[in-house]
Amino acid sequence: MSRVTVIGAGAMGAGIAQVAAQHGWDVHLQDVDDAVVDAAIEGIGKRLDRLVQKERITAEAAEAARSRLHRLDDGLGKSDLVIEAIVEDLDIKTSVLGDLVPRMAPETIIATNTSSLSVGDLGERLGQAHRCCGMHFFNPAPIMKLVEVVRGRGTDEAVVDRVADIAASWGKQVARCADTPGFIVNRVARPYYLEAFRIIEDGIATPEFIDDTMKTIGGFRMGPMELTDFIGHDVNTATTRTVWEQWNQSARLAPSWLQESLVSEGHLGRKSGRGIYDYEADSPTCVIQVAQPAPQLPDALRAAAIEFTRHAVDTDATAEQAVVFARILAALINEARWAEHDGVAAPADIDTAVQYGMNYPRGLLAWRDAIGPPRVSALLEALDAVADDDRFIEPA
């Protein structure tokens, strides 16, 4: 039986352990103390029970998965794979893995679930760059289909292939990507939130109108404002800031002053009871005022947005809806193209990443092809003509 050791039994480590155990791997978990591991194994057991109750898995499959979960014993050397999912701190990850390396077999693959640290840096610090690979799961790991497989500077291609095969055998969709800030999803998805905030800052539409438009016209599961309330504005804006700073403070990824002011006022979203919407009311009520009067948009921009939208979706959209939907989708498509241009990933991997990591209704680059690249360019040019920065410029 294949064997994986998971270091860190928190939200991600426990989720990854569950996925591996359900797919027939023998799983050994470690955390700062045994009580944390025991609690994680108990939590996984409860989740397996719920899956049985919902008839998603059989009682026998749940029992088999449960029997494969253990505390890490002295058999680390028998692991095919070690996945670390501990705190997001390069020094701590290096120190914890560094202590384990001497007990690992030379062929054991070392995977990190980091969201924002360099896989290459970790591999080099460990002196194990050839067998160190990113295996970036999404939260909750048992439900989210995507794994970004990240090739560090010195990672052997055979190690990348093996990690991709393992993730696929665990029922995941794999997007291979380079070791770059935000990898694919945490970079390419940023305009979904940021352009929506800018539309509000510009006084063009209300949060409710934006959310409703992206769902009813665009087919997105959640609108950008309700999604950022759900994620938490502190978490969302911290990721934005990290990715923006690491990508040379590109205007396309720049933080929103409106979102940052929500954080400084303590309005973090659902978890604090208030963000863009107030959750203390019977049903969520929008509490963000939009500057009035709304600015007049140039006829060329409205026409380009309507033309773009007509080819992007089957649903009939009003001009107001088209202006909002087309602007956000064009910004997303442009970021996907820049990511491809910057060598982050191949187009198919970028599309897999946003579909399975963000649940977008279509891959962004396939969507661009369906709309027609000249229509996308025409809209980006019209947006660029009124923008006060260069965020709508396309890659060459």
Ligand X SMILES: NC(=O)c1ccc[n+]([C@@H]2O[C@H](COP(=O)([O-])OP(=O)(O)OC[C@H]3O[C@@H](n4cnc5c(N)ncnc54)[C@H](O)[C@@H]3O)[C@@H](O)[C@H]2O)c1
Active site residues: 115, 136, 148, 186
Nearer to ligand X, 29 or 65 (CB): 29
Fill in the amino acid letter for 199: I
Nearer to ligand X, 12 or 383 (CB): 12
Nearer to ligand X, 36 or 258 (CB): 36
For the bound state, the minimum distance from the C-beta of residue 320 to ligand X, rounded and expressed in Å, comes to 35
Q: Find tokens 């929103």 and name the residue.
A: 256
E strands of the chain, at which residues?
3-7, 26-30, 69-71, 81-84, 109-112, 132-137, 146-151, 173-178, 277-278, 285-286
Residue 298 tokens read as 């140039």
Nearer to ligand X, 207 or 275 (CB): 275
Closest-CA residue to 329 (of 383, 390, 290, 275): 383
Closest-CA residue to 334 (of 349, 310, 350, 319): 350
* Chain contacts with ligand X (rule: CB under 6 A): 7-13, 30-32, 36, 85-88, 92, 96, 113-115, 137-139
Nearer to ligand X, 8 or 224 (CB): 8
Whole-number Å distance between alpha carbons of 382 and 360:
25
In this structure, how many other beta carbons lie within 10 angstroms of the beta carbon of residue 102?
Answer: 8
In this structure, how many other beta carbons lie within 10 angstroms of the beta carbon of residue 235?
Answer: 14
For the bound state, the minimum distance from the C-beta of residue 133 to ligand X, rounded and expressed in Å, comes to 14
For the bound state, the minimum distance from the C-beta of residue 355 to ligand X, rounded and expressed in Å, comes to 18
For the bound state, the minimum distance from the C-beta of residue 191 to ligand X, rounded and expressed in Å, comes to 20
For the bound state, the minimum distance from the C-beta of residue 60 to ligand X, rounded and expressed in Å, comes to 29
Residue 311 tokens read as 């080819």
